[in-house]
Every structure is written in structure tokens, then in C-alpha cells.
Amino acid sequence: MALRNIVKIDQSKCNGCGLCANACAEGAIALVDGKARLISEIYCDGLGACLGHCPQGAITVEQREAAEFDEKATQEHLASQKKAASQSHPQAMCPGMTAHTFTPSKAEDERQGSIQSQLRHWPVQLKLVSHAAPYFKDADLLLTADCVPFAMGDFHSRFLKDRSVASAAQAGRRPVLH
């Protein structure tokens, strides 16, 4: 044990959005029973990359006695997380944040008439999307304001086909996270 900087999560403020877990490059934070938790001191480097991602201000960095950061254990932990993600097991997070890739069925296309959706993945809201989502690998990415798909009738056919998409809220608006 040594005196060092380490993340502290105020459970009374945490709303379980999971943004901090996505931002933690070491995988030290995970959602457990609907709340963000530091799963191991040895995975936390104490730099606080997760701080700016918490919309509730539930995360701080404190100096206290804690186990030393273990880079080797952290790398093994990240490798096991990556393996689990590649096997498409849903992570313990808000269901709206779980990455999904899909292709509409032929019957679904016929029900929609001649205008077919080109959306092939979920989520699309930038605050919910994981940078590690499989549909972003080697993708042609379309970044759009949240109102564009509703305001532009031919958005899907002109811009979305064969692209991954992320949507950002308008400046000054704060997305509602459940």
C-alpha cells in the first residue's frame, strides 16, 4: 500500500449512465447493480480521465492509501474485457448504450415501402457511443447534429447508406440520460 491518487465515486450522485466506464482506458470502472464502481485499485492509474465524462459530478480523485497501480494486471484485465466484447456479450450498462449491429429483414423492408432505413447500428448518440464499438472499425463515419435526420427527408438515402453514424446534441442542450 502507498499514498497515491485514486478515483472516488460518490454513489449518491451516480446515475449509472456508464460514461465514466467508457472513458476509463484502464477498465478500472464498471457498472455494478446500476452504479459506477471502482472494481480494483490496481487498475486505476489515478490520472482521472473519467472526471470530465461524469454528467453528475460523482467522480473525484483523492489521495489515499491504496494498492499500487499494476500495469501488467491492467493489460490482462483489458484483454479479457476485449475478448468478452468480441464475443458480443452485453456489458453491464444502460441498455441504450449496448452496441448493436443489425440488418433489416426483407419483410421489414417491404413494410416500409420504397424508402428503407439505412441505419445498421445502435446507439448513435455521441454521449452513448463507445469509441470501441465494432461498427466504427475502418468505418466511413458520418457525424450529424441530432435534428438533421428529422429535418432532412432524404437523409438516409443521401448520407447514411454504407456509413456508421454518430449524432451530437445541439450546443447548449444537454441530452437526457436515463
Q: Does 128 lie in the same domain as 164?
A: yes
Domain assignment present for residue 174? The answer is: no
Point out the least confidently predicted range of 14-18, 22-26, 131-135: 131-135
Question: DSSP secondary structure string, 113-160?
Answer: TT------EE--BTTT--TT-GGGTT--EEEEETTHHHH-TTHIIIII
SS3 call for 90: coil
Last residue in a domain, options 42, 67, 86: 86
Among residues 86, 103, 120, the one where a domain terminates is 86
Domain identity same for 10 and 80: yes
| pLDDT of the residue at 178 | 36
Q: What is the pLDDT of residue 113?
A: 57
Are 41 and 117 in the same domain? no
Question: Quick one: pLDDT at residue 104?
Answer: 62
Name the domain count of the chain. Answer: 2
Confirm if 92 and 30 have CB atoms less than 8 A apart.
Answer: yes
Mean pLDDT (the chain, rounded): 77
CATH value at residue 34: 3.30.70.20
Q: Find the radius of gyration of the CA atoms of the chain.
A: 19
pTM assigned to the model: 0.50
Do 31 and 65 share a domain, yes or no? yes
- Residue 70 and residue 15 share a domain: yes
- pLDDT, greater one: 136 or 169: 136
C-alpha cell at 93: 450498462
pLDDT tens digits, one per residue of 73-100: 999 988 888 777 665 444 444 555 566 6
